[in-house]
Every structure is written in C-alpha cells, then in structure tokens.
Structure 1
Amino acid sequence: MLLFGLAGGLFRGVQDNYLAWIGIGKAGRGVVEFFRELPGLLLFLLLAPFYRMAERNLIRIALSISVLGVLGIIFLGSSAVPTVLFLTIWSTGEHLIMPVRRSYAIHSADPGKEGRALGFLKGVENAGKVLGLAMVSLVFLLPKVLQDRDNGGRLGFVIILSITALIVFFAVIASMGMSRSSGSLERKRLYIRRKFTRYYGLEMFYGARKQVSFTFGPYLLILRYGAQTEYLATLLGISALINIFFNPVIGRIIDRWGYRTVMIGDTVILFFVCLLYGFAHHIFSEGTALTVVSVVFVLDRMISNASMASSIYVNHISEGHEEVAATLSTGISINHIISVSIALVGGLIWQTLGVELLFVLAAMMAVGNTLFAVSIPRVSSSV
C-alpha cells in the first residue's frame, strides 16, 4: 500500500495539469471524469470474474491493470482520445483495489479496532503520496523540464509517469508477499439488502461530493487561478502529509465516539468548504482568494478521509466478511451512478452558468448528506 500510495501520488500530481496540457476545458473535464469514473459504476461487473478469488490475488491483478494504463499514456497519450482511454484503464485498476484493500484491512484487524486498521492503512498510503508528490514538485522545478514546458512539451509528465509505472510494477511484486486475511471471500455481483439502505444513500452523496470537490476543485485552481503542476502537487503533498497523522486520529475517533459522529462532522464542514470554493474570488482579493482556496483544498482532502466511517458502519451491521466485501463493492458502484452524472452535468454547469452555482449545488448535497447521517442510529463504540 505504501508503493501504491507513492504511485498514486505521482499520477494524481500530474493528472489535472496533463489534461489541461492536451486541451481539456471546463465541460471537457466533466466528460473525461465520466469515463474515468465508469469503472467504479461497473465495479460489480468487473469483480464478477474474480468473485471467489482471495483479496491479495485481486490486489495483484488490479495493480497490473494500472501499469498498462500508465504505459499507454506514456507512449500514446499525446492527444485527448488515447489519453482518456488509458486513463480509464488506470482507473479500472484503481477502482478494483478500492473495496478489496478496505475489506482486507477490516478482516485483518482485531475486533473493535477496525477503525484504527483503516486509519493505519490510509496513513501508509498517504506516506507514499507525500513522497510521490514531492517528487512531482522537484521534477517540475528542474531547469530542463521548465524549459520544455515553456516550449509546450511534456517531458516532465513523461518522467513522472515512467516512474509511476516502475513503482506499480514493484508493487505487484511486493503484493506476492501479502498474507491471507481469512480465506477466499465470495463476492456477489450486486449485493442489495434493505438493512444497507442508509449506506447506499451515503455512498450516493459521497459520489456527488467527491466529484465536485476532487474533480472541479483542482481544475478551479488551474483554470481560475493559474496553478502550475508543481503548485498543485505541493498542495496535494501537504494534504497527504497531514493525513499520515490525521487518518489514524479519525480511525480512533470512530472507534471511540462512533461512525455516526464522524459522518455528521464531515458533512457539516463540507458545506462551508463548498461555499468557499465557489465564492472566495468574490469575497477576497485575487491573491488572498488563491490562498483561501488552497487552504480549503487541503481541508477538503483531510475531511474526505472520514468516508472510512461508512465502511465501519457496514462492518457493524453485516453478518460476515463476505457480506462486508460484497456491500463495499456495491456501494462504490452506487456512488458512481451519481458520480458519473455529476461529472457530465457539473462541467456543463460551470461552462454555462458559472462555478458559483456548481459549488452551491455541492453545498446543498452536503446538507442532504448531513440529514442522511443524522438518521443513522447511535451506536456506542468500544476502545
């Protein structure tokens, strides 16, 4: 997970600026995100062929798919269509590993310490991201790379993506040493049960929140405030560095105070985050607005990790490991139903009606998410 976090930091550090480099605009960014999120929407279908496979083996396959995606962008990604195609392949591996790593961590943890296990897992991933994003910033400050960028080249992107492919390859090798959590877990293709209704609702809201904040937030910095690759990578690196220590804290809070408390706190903060994203340039001067949005950007990534609370909620009301794994993968598919729709509609809203309305709608979704979280029964969590 440290290696995957490192690779993810490298890739995420250049993704948005690379899309801007090939000419993707506001509405186009939404279209790209539609295809990037499509594997998440179809996750239950992607997992179907591996429904009896051990989690560690599925992690290995997911990493291998991600390698192919990165290599495709390196060799064929100088224009929009092939870039989007191979970005989708990278995303396929990324989405396959999402529910598996969470269920692996939960099933490997001692009873009552699942939140700490997830917090530790995310902390390790963020340690990797810090290293990866620091490398992005350093590479894009090299004189040769700066000169190439001024001439419209993509040397810096190719260097970072090549390092990413190499690291994911090493992650595949490292995954061969993973121990089994508790045998093979059968994963149903689509697992819908009435008792998980609130979880499905939370995932839909999270899909909308993630799309607006994580997709259009970085693009707002690039298109509205002129953020270069090294600036965005630095912000992402700061976020990941903070989260190394903050994620375990969230995990302990979940174990101590319960997942419901964390869910509510996350969505309340998100409401104000969205409003500042949309209106900072109206309230503050240009330079101050950039600072405010940058701080909000980091805060947004800090509170997003509270989404692990929903995984603990699922584990609490599930009857076994198999049900947890199946429900988590189904939840990811459900949040992507909203996510892919928001990707397309959000880009068009920004293009035609302005970024302010886009983030006002996101703030309203945060309110809906809060109401959903409040409806979850209180449960006392033991330390």
Structure 2
Amino acid sequence: MKKRILQKHTEILMFFILISAVAFANGLSDGVYSNYFKEVYHVTAFQRGFIEFPRELPGLLCAIVIGFIGFLGDLRVAFIAQILALTGVTVLGVFTPAFGIMLIFLFINSLGMHLFMPLQDAIGMSLAEPDKIGVRMGQFSSVRAGFNLIAALLVFFGFRTGFFTFESPVKLMFLIAGVAFLCAAAMSAVMISHVKPPKTAPKKNKLVLRKQYRYYYLLTILHGVQKQIAFVYGTWVIVDLLSKKADTLALLTIVVGFISIFFYNLLGKWMDQFGIKKMMYFDALTFIGVYIIYGFVVWGILSGKLPDHGLAVWFIYLLFISDRLSMQIGMVNSIYLRSIAWNPDEVTSTLSMGISLDHVVSIIAALAGGVIWTRWGSQWVFFMAAAFSLGNLFVAYRVQPDKEKEMAEKMRSISQN
C-alpha cells in the first residue's frame, strides 16, 4: 500500500515537472509571437490576420489528429507534442526563414502546443486521487500559472535590459523555450516507462460525438466565444480605447499570473467542497456579471459620461483581471466531463473534440465581434458575450452530475460484461 502511494506521488511529481516546462516554454514563445511578427517580418494588418490561420488551424485539427494517433496512449502523444513544439520554435530561434517557411514551422510549433492542451487535463485527472481531483487540478493549474508568470517576468525584463532582442540573427528567447520543450519531452519519455497503464488495454481513440456529452460540447462552444472576447476585445479596449502600450499589458498579465497561482488552488478546493453544479452556477454568473459591467463601462467612456483616465481606467484594469480569472473557472468543464464519461478512454478524444469546437467558434466570434465593434459600438461586443453566457447558466440548471455519473458507471459495467 505504501509502495503504491509512493509511486502515485512520484508520478504526480513527474507530471508537475512536465507541465512546468511546457508552461515556461509557451510563455517564452507564444507570448512574444505578435512582437516577433511585427519586428522581424514587418507584417501588415492583413498579414497579421492571415498568420492566425496557421496558428489556429492545429486547434481545428486537434480532434482529428488525436483520433489518428490516440491509440499510442496519452503519454506517447504528449511526447510527440513536445517534439513538434521543440522543432518549430528551435528553427524560428536559430534561423530567420522566409515568411512562407516561417509559417510552416509556426504551424508545427502550434500543432505541438494544441495537441498537449487536452492531454494535460486528461493525464492530470488520470493521475489524481479519486477524492482529490478538484484539488489536484487546481494545483496543476497553479503550477502552470506560476511558470507562465516566471516566463512573463523574464520576457519583460529581458527586453527592457536588451538581453532579449529580435534584431539578432539568433532569437535567444526561442532557444530557451526549445530547451524547456526538450526537458518536457524527456520527462514525457520517463513517464512512459514509469507510469503504469490501465489494467485493461486502451481502445483506439476516435472522434467522439455522444448525445450524453451534449452539455460539455455546449460549454466548449460558449468558451470559444468568451475566450475571444477576453483575449482579443478585452485587450483591444486597453490598446485602442485607452491607447496603452505593450508594457501596460505585460504588467497586467503579470498581475493575473500572480493571482492565478493562488486562485487555481482555491478553485480546486471549491470544486471538491461545493461540487460541479454549484461551480457551474458560479462560472456562469461570473461571466454574465463581468461582461455586463464591461459593456456599461466601455459605453460610459465612449459616450463621455466616464473619463478615459483616472479611476475609470483602473476600473477597466480590474475588469480585465477579473475576466482573465473568470476564464480559469472553466476547468470545471474538464472535471465534469470526466465524471460523466461512459468510457475513460473517451476522455482525451472528447476533450480534443471540445478544443476543435472551441477553435471553430473562436474564429466565427472574432469575425462577428469585429463587425459588431465597427458598426454598433464596442460595448455591444461585451453585451453579446453576456448574452451568450446565459448558455452557461442554462447548462448549470440542466446538468445533473450525480445522475449522469451513475448512468456512466452503469454503462461501463454493461460494456465490461
């Protein structure tokens, strides 16, 4: 018994190292790509929009790729994901390829990062103790936030001091990210040999679309809308409406990262304490509240009823931070899926399907948001997000996690017999 507990703790420790390396690498690469495109390739607004296609395409393809190679097992696919991310970012760090070639290696790097998105939740939940899933997921997320924060601080001070620069032939921040991805790949390889597979041989992962998972799919679609509003238009309010520079956004990101270290742990404890349904209500009401307030504050600044300086600006900063934190409550979606999964082998493929749906909706939401912002005013983008977030409230009302979990367990028993 003690030996099994020690092995479980060792497996969890290895996973902490894996996700730490990935979070640090992503912070040093994905976090500076916008500046890289602008300063190295001097892209136009049209080209910047075009670049999003190879960056987001892996998200659309995630479910298909997982469906093809998922039979290898989560840890082996995680190893492949790190090798892809390593290859892409290393080439961009060592060379300055032609624009078209750069897009190819950007795609390779992005494919690796997107493949690992569903895997990190699936592996994390499979390693967690049955009575501590919420706590463990909170801890995993806190560690990721912590290493994202370290990367953000390194980027901020690195560029301020000239240690990092896009003017040199070799992009040092990308090479450091490559080393971190290499460490992640090495840890994935170690985990493949140390983490015991399930007693029953896993079935080949495939595209999963079950009626029983309909509320999870709806939550991922809603998340795609909310994500675009938070990361694109919430940021654009600060850049366009308030005319703030990149250092302001960097500092806000650092603040969010610091708070997230503690907030994720708190969320995990709340998950185990209050349960899935109550946390879904909290998730929905937080989104609705933040976006309604966001819309009215933006309307107030545009109409001149609120100043574009002083207290109103600080209130926008507070909303920006609150919006980013509210996005983190979405980890309840993965825990909900695992609790109702009819077959544990379907968790990874269903999570990847969710990411694909998320990215499809994200692209549509970005286009729709741009039209609404231009034609009717930026405040209506946030009111639209609040309206869509009513869907989260509907799901929270409709789901019955205990009954769905009981049904899933019955189906598992029937399939095994």
Determine if the alignment matches structure 1 residue 63 to structure 2 residue 118.
no
Residue 213 (structure 2) aligns with = 196
The letter of the residue matching 2:210 is R
Partners of 1:233 and 1:55 in 2: how far apart?
Answer: 34
The letter of the residue matching 1:355 is S
Deviation, structure 1 residue 331: 1.8
Which segment is superposed worse, 319-328 or 107-116?
Answer: 319-328
Residue 176 (structure 1) aligns with = 189
Residue 368 (structure 2) aligns with = 345
Residue 203 (structure 2) aligns with = 186
Determine if the alignment matches structure 1 residue 165 to structure 2 residue 178.
yes
Determine if the alignment matches structure 1 residue 242 to structure 2 residue 259.
yes
Determine if the alignment matches structure 1 residue 259 to structure 2 residue 276.
yes
The verdict on how the C-alpha distance between 1:20 and 1:277 changes in structure 2, with shifts beyond 3 A counting, is farther
Kept after mapping to 1: 8 A contact 2:340/2:401: no
Kept after mapping to 2: 8 A contact 1:350/1:357: yes
Deviation, structure 1 residue 204: 0.8
Which segment is superposed worse, 319-328 or 96-105?
Answer: 319-328
The letter of the residue matching 1:10 is L
Partners of 1:369 and 1:85 in 2: how far apart?
Answer: 37
Deviation, structure 1 residue 66: 1.3
TM-score (norm 1): 0.86
Which segment is superposed worse, 228-237 or 2-11?
Answer: 228-237
Residue 294 (structure 1) aligns with = 317
Deviation, structure 1 residue 365: 1.2
Determine if the alignment matches structure 1 residue 356 to structure 2 residue 373.
no
Kept after mapping to 1: 8 A contact 2:291/2:385: yes
Determine if the alignment matches structure 1 residue 2 to structure 2 residue 24.
no
The verdict on how the C-alpha distance between 1:233 and 1:10 changes in structure 2, with shifts beyond 3 A counting, is farther
- CA deviations on 1:3-40 (whole Å, 9 max, x unpaired) are 11111222343234445654454x87665445422222
Residue 306 (structure 2) aligns with = 284
Corresponding residue to 2:239 among 200, 222, 246: 222
The verdict on how the C-alpha distance between 1:77 and 1:208 changes in structure 2, with shifts beyond 3 A counting, is farther
Partners of 1:245 and 1:238 in 2: how far apart?
Answer: 12
The letter of the residue matching 1:320 is N
- CA deviations on 1:62-105 (whole Å, 9 max, x unpaired) are 111112332344434785x6555544332211110011111111
Partners of 1:272 and 1:48 in 2: how far apart?
Answer: 38
Residue 318 (structure 1) aligns with = 341
The letter of the residue matching 2:78 is I
Residue 394 (structure 2) aligns with = 371
Partners of 2:155 and 2:231 in 1: how far apart?
Answer: 19
Q: Which runs of 5+ in 1 are unaligned?
A: none
Kept after mapping to 2: 8 A contact 1:13/1:236: no
Corresponding residue to 1:137 among 156, 159, 162: 156
Kept after mapping to 1: 8 A contact 2:137/2:268: yes
Question: Secondary structure of 2:349's match?
Answer: helix
Question: Secondary structure of 2:131's match?
Answer: coil
Kept after mapping to 2: 8 A contact 1:274/1:359: yes
Which segment is superposed worse, 329-338 or 339-348?
Answer: 339-348
Residue 304 (structure 1) aligns with = 327
Which segment is superposed worse, 210-219 or 299-308?
Answer: 210-219
Partners of 1:275 and 1:20 in 2: how far apart?
Answer: 34
Partners of 1:162 and 1:222 in 2: how far apart?
Answer: 29
Deviation, structure 1 residue 134: 0.6
Kept after mapping to 2: 8 A contact 1:55/1:180: no
Residue 14 (structure 1) aligns with = 32
Partners of 2:261 and 2:269 in 1: how far apart?
Answer: 14
- CA deviations on 1:252-308 (whole Å, 9 max, x unpaired) are 111111112222212222223334545433353223344223222222221211111
Corresponding residue to 1:99 among 111, 118, 123: 118
The letter of the residue matching 2:265 is P
The letter of the residue matching 1:336 is H
Deviation, structure 1 residue 348: 4.2
Determine if the alignment matches structure 1 residue 49 to structure 2 residue 62.
no
Which segment is superposed worse, 315-324 or 93-102?
Answer: 315-324
Kept after mapping to 2: 8 A contact 1:141/1:230: no
Which segment is superposed worse, 195-204 or 271-280?
Answer: 271-280
Question: Secondary structure of 1:177's match?
Answer: helix
The verdict on how the C-alpha distance between 1:378 and 1:54 changes in structure 2, with shifts beyond 3 A counting, is closer
Question: Secondary structure of 2:330's match?
Answer: helix
The letter of the residue matching 2:179 is L
Which segment is superposed worse, 259-268 or 126-135?
Answer: 259-268
Partners of 2:261 and 2:74 in 1: how far apart?
Answer: 24
The verdict on how the C-alpha distance between 1:49 and 1:137 changes in structure 2, with shifts beyond 3 A counting, is same
Kept after mapping to 2: 8 A contact 1:51/1:185: no
Deviation, structure 1 residue 106: 0.8
The letter of the residue matching 1:328 is L
Determine if the alignment matches structure 1 residue 271 to structure 2 residue 282.
no
Kept after mapping to 1: 8 A contact 2:68/2:206: no
Corresponding residue to 2:248 among 218, 231, 249: 231
Question: Secondary structure of 1:270's match?
Answer: helix
Kept after mapping to 1: 8 A contact 2:339/2:401: no
Deviation, structure 1 residue 230: 3.4
TM-score (norm 2): 0.79
Residue 116 (structure 1) aligns with = 135
Question: Secondary structure of 2:72's match?
Answer: coil
Kept after mapping to 1: 8 A contact 2:225/2:385: yes
Kept after mapping to 2: 8 A contact 1:67/1:90: yes
